Amino acid sequence: MKYVTKIKRNKTLIESKQKNYSGIESKIKGRKLPKNIITIFIDAVSRARYIQKLKKSSKWFDQQAQNYKDTHQMFQAFRYMSVGINTSPNFYGKLSKNSRWNTTDGDENIELNSDGTPIFKAENLEKYKSITKTLSDAGYIIAKSRTICGTAITEHDPQDATVVQTQPIDHEFVSAICDPNYLPPNNPFGILQGPYSIFKKCLDGQEVNQYVFNYGKDFLQTYHDVPKYLEMYFLDGHEGTGDVINYFDDPLYNFLNWLVDNNHHKDYYIMMVSDHGLHMQGLYYLMRSKIYDIEVALPGLLILLDKNLIDEKERKALEENQQKVVTSFEIHYTLQFFTSEAQIDNSLFSSKILENNVETYQHNMINFALVSNRNDQNQFKSYQLSSSNIYVNLQINLNLAMQSQNILFQLILSRSFKNQFIENINQQSFQLQAKIMSCNNLFKLLNYKKIENDSKQLMHSYKDLNIQEKLQSENTAYRELKIMKFIIIKV
C-alpha cells in the first residue's frame, strides 16, 4: 500500500480571499505582506538540541542569511523561554495568545451550551481569535500537516475552546499518521512503535515526517502564486532517548533547500520553533535533576525572513531582540504584525518588546517559574504586585525560585522589581536584596549587557549596606551559571 496525497487547487477559495489580501496590502505602508508564511513546529526540542542534533538545519538559517545578506535577515532567540512544561500552554500561546496557564483567563470565564460547547460572546471573539483565523481573514490560504493523530493541539478540539475559538482549515493532512500500522490503537503512547517510539519512525517504507514534508511541498506548489500559510508539526524529538531527532536533520535540511530551489524564499517568513525542551529525560526526570528544568525551559526559535517585509527600524529591533526574553506569546504577536495596520509593540519587530512584557510574564509564567514546587502554584495564582505585599510574598517565592534555579523567574524579579527595592532598602529585606543582586550578576556574566548595566547601578545603591560578603556566599547562582554557559553559550 502507498499513500498518495494531491492537493486540488481551489479557485473559489482563492477568489474569496484575494480581495481581503489586496485590501490589507493597500493599507500597510512602508512594507510588503509576506507571500509565504511557513512554521515548522518541532515538539520537545531545546535550543541546545537544535544546535547539537539538527546541525545542518540550524546552520541553514545562518547560511541563507549570508548568501542573501542584501535581501534576507536571520533571527535566533537566545532567551526564548517556555511558559509551561508541556505543549499545550506554549502551543496555544503562539496560536491565540491565550493559555490555560494564564491566570487572567480560565475555564470559569467561558459559558457553555447544553451540549458542552462554548458560547463566545461578541466582546471575546477577538480575544480568543487564533492567528490562523487572523491570517485567513487577511486573505491567506491555510494548510496544516502534522505527525500527531487526532484533534489535540488543533483548532478543532472543543476541549481547547477555552483558549482559542475553533477554526476550520482550508487544507489539512493527518490521515496517514492515524494508520494502525503506525499508531497501535491499543497503545498509542508506546515507546516501541508510533509517534513516541525510541526507534526511527516509518510507515510503508518511508519516514513518517516525509508525508508531512511532501504535503507541504504540494501545497506550496499548488498555490505558488497566492498568499499562503503553511504549518507543519513534528513529533520526531518527542521520545525518551533524545537521539531519534538525529534522523530528522536530513529530511528537514532537504525541505529547506527545496524551498530555495523552487523560489519559495522570496517575500517569505519561515520559522523553526519548538514548545519546550526534552521533558522525557529518563533518569534526569526521575531524579528531578536541575538540568531537567533548564532543558525544558529553553526551547529553540530560528527565523529567516525577507527584509522587504519590515522597515529599517524594525530590522534593527529584530536584531536586538535576539538577546531579550521572548515566549510563544511574542510569536503570536509577530505573526499578527504582518496583517496589522497598527503598531504591535509585543512583536519581535518592536524595540518596546521587553518593556511591555513584565505584566505578561507575571500572569502567564509565574507557575512555570516554580515547576519544581508545584504545591505552591495556587499561591501564585492569587499573586498580585503591590507595595504592601511585595516583601512578604516575594521573599517566600524568590527563595523557592532560587532553589529551583529557574532563570526566567529570576530575570523577571531582577528587572521588574529592582527599582522598588532600591527605593525601599532596609535591613529586613537584606537577604532578599542579596539574591536579587546575584540574579543580576548571573546575567552579567552571561554577557547580557542590559543586565550588566543594571547590576552596576544596584551595586552602587547597595554599597552602604556592605552586602558584598553576602553576595559572595550566594553560590547557587554561580553553580547555575556553569550549567547555563554550557547550554546557552558553549553549545
User: What pLDDT sits at residue 101?
Assistant: 47
pLDDT tens by residue, 258-267: 999 999 988 9
CATH code of 146's domain:
3.40.720.10
pLDDT tens by residue, 405-447: 344 444 444 444 444 433 333 333 434 444 444 444 444 433 3
Residues 253 and 369 in one domain: no
For every one of its 491 residues, what pLDDT tens digit does the chain have, with 9 covering 90 and above? 677 778 999 999 999 999 899 888 888 876 789 999 999 999 999 888 899 899 999 999 999 999 999 999 999 998 888 877 788 778 888 888 776 544 334 444 556 677 666 666 665 666 678 899 999 999 999 999 999 887 777 777 666 666 777 788 999 998 888 999 998 888 888 888 888 888 999 998 899 999 999 999 999 999 999 999 999 999 999 887 888 999 999 999 999 999 999 999 889 999 999 998 887 766 655 666 666 677 788 899 999 999 999 999 999 999 999 988 788 989 999 999 999 988 888 899 998 875 544 444 443 443 343 333 333 333 333 333 322 233 333 333 344 334 433 444 444 444 444 444 333 333 334 344 444 444 444 444 333 344 344 444 444 444 433 444 444 444 444 443 333 333 333 22
Residue that finishes a domain, picked among 308, 329, 358: 358
- Terminal Cα distance for the chain, rounded: 43
Asked whether residue 380 is assigned to any structural domain, the reply reads yes
Asked whether residue 459 is assigned to any structural domain, the reply reads yes
Asked whether residue 45 is assigned to any structural domain, the reply reads yes
Residues 436 and 333 in one domain: no
Residues 210 and 265 in one domain: yes
- Domain limits at 457? 365-490
User: What pLDDT sits at residue 429?
Assistant: 40
User: What pLDDT sits at residue 229?
Assistant: 98
User: What pLDDT sits at residue 89?
Assistant: 78
Asked whether residue 3 is assigned to any structural domain, the reply reads no
Distance between CA atoms of residues 94 and 80, nearest Å: 13
Residues 373 and 351 in one domain: no
Residues 311 and 378 in one domain: no
User: What pLDDT sits at residue 115?
Assistant: 64
pLDDT tens by residue, 172-220: 998 888 999 998 888 888 888 888 888 999 998 899 999 999 999 999 9
Q: Cell match 522598588: residue?
A: 420
Residues 476 and 344 in one domain: no
Distance between CA atoms of residues 37 and 339, nearest Å: 12
Distance between CA atoms of residues 84 and 378, nearest Å: 15
Residues 176 and 313 in one domain: yes
- List, in sequence order, every residue forming a beta bridge with 304; answer none if it has no partner: 74, 270
Q: With contact defined as beta carbons under 8 Å apart, do 44 and 153 qualify?
A: no
Asked whether residue 1 is assigned to any structural domain, the reply reads no
Residues 141 and 211 in one domain: yes
Distance between CA atoms of residues 141 and 136, nearest Å: 6
State the Cα torsion 378-380-381-385 to the nearest 10°. 150
For 449-481, b where at least 16 C-beta lie within 10 A, e where not — what string?
A: eebbebbeebbebbeeeebeebbeebeebeebb
**Number of domains comprising the chain:** 2
State the Cα torsion 457-462-464-467 to the nearest 10°. -140
Specify the pTM: 0.73
Residues 185 and 45 in one domain: yes
The identity of residue 314, as a single letter, is E
Helix (H) or strand (E) holding 361: helix 358-364
Residues 263 and 207 in one domain: yes
Asked whether residue 6 is assigned to any structural domain, the reply reads no
Distance between CA atoms of residues 178 and 180, nearest Å: 6
State the Cα torsion 69-75-76-79 to the nearest 10°. 150
Asked whether residue 414 is assigned to any structural domain, the reply reads yes
Residues 109 and 40 in one domain: yes
User: What pLDDT sits at residue 289?
Assistant: 63
Pairing relation of β-strands 111-112 and 72-76?
unpaired
User: What pLDDT sits at residue 393?
Assistant: 35
Residues 183 and 277 in one domain: yes
Residue that finishes a domain, picked among 322, 343, 358: 358
List C-alpha distances in Å: 24 to 1, 135, 464, 487: 45, 11, 58, 42
Residue that finishes a domain, picked among 358, 388, 413: 358
